[in-house]
């Protein structure tokens, strides 16, 4: 492998798209351009040493070190592109946080397999493919049945609200609970019915390179938001 390849690849490997580092130690991980510059100086020093000690009867091929210089330039451009992309991602996320803050305090419908009991209330939007009877099952994290309900729904969008009471009438504490909606299909067994979880948006936070919408104890990716409803 050429001198430039070793030095350039060392610098390039310390930078990934989105600002993630492939190495957890040294300045190379935090400043890949600085590392590349240092490696480039080492390359020039080694190249000059080679030229000074080359065999006059068999001089170095100029195409070789020209190609190596091109390799360094290519790696430098890649690192600068990654850095610019990281800045763009951060700016975009910052703008999304500002826009998303307008949702706080409003009722939103999201795609999730949990609903959030907030101030003793939670809701579902059930999108039934046909007029039928559906079963709503709310369970704990361990799968313990807490609340079941059998509903007669119309084709299309239907609403169902939960007051936080379990099957025995006991009031459950606010929190996130597993939920499933099924209907008796033509074949044996139950079939899933699509639904959205309805709750109040309470906050926004950044998790890695994604933005999360908080609905009380429930946190979902922004891509799960289906609609913002009237009122709060």
DSSP per residue, 100-116: HGGGTTSEEEE--SEEE
pLDDT in tens, the chain (232 residues): 444 444 445 544 444 434 444 444 444 455 555 565 556 666 667 767 777 777 777 766 667 667 766 776 676 677 667 666 666 555 555 555 556 567 888 999 999 999 999 999 999 999 999 999 999 999 999 999 999 999 999 999 999 999 999 999 999 999 999 999 999 765 546 789 999 999 999 988 877 777 888 999 999 998 899 998 865 5
List CB contacts of 9: < 8 A, sequence separation 6 or more.
75
156: nearest Cα among 195, 122, 183: 195
CATH code reported for the domain at 104-228: 2.60.40.4070
Question: Where do the structural domains in the chain lie, given as residue ranges?
Answer: 3-102, 104-228
CA dihedral sign, ordered 110, 111, 117, 121: positive
């Amino acid at each position: 492998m050429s001198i430039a390849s070793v030095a350039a690849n060392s610098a390039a490997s310390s930078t990934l798209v989105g600002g993630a580092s492939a190495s957890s130690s040294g300045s190379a991980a935090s400043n890949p351009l600085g590392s590349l510059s240092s490696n480039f100086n080492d390359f020039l020093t080694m190249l000059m040493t080679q030229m000074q000690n080359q065999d006059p009867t068999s001089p170095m091929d100029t195409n070789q070190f020209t190609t190596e210089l091109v390799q360094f330039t290519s790696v430098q451009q890649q690192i600068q592109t990654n850095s610019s992309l990281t800045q763009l991602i951060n700016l975009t996320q910052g703008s999304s946080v500002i826009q998303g803050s307008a949702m706080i305090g409003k009722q939103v419908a999201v795609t999730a397999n949990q609903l959030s009991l907030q101030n003793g209330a939670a809701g579902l939007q059930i999108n039934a493919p046909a007029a039928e009877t559906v079963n709503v099952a709310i369970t704990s994290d361990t799968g313990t049945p807490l609340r079941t309900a059998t509903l007669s729904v119309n084709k299309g969008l239907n609403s169902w609200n939960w007051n936080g009471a379990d099957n025995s009438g006991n009031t459950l504490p606010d929190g996130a609970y597993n939920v499933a909606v099924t209907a008796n299909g033509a074949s044996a067994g139950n079939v899933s019915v699509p639904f959205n979880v309805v709750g109040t948006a309470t906050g926004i936070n950044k998790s890695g390179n994604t933005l999360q919408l908080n609905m009380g104890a429930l946190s979902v990716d922004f891509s799960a938001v289906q609609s913002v409803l009237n009122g709060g």
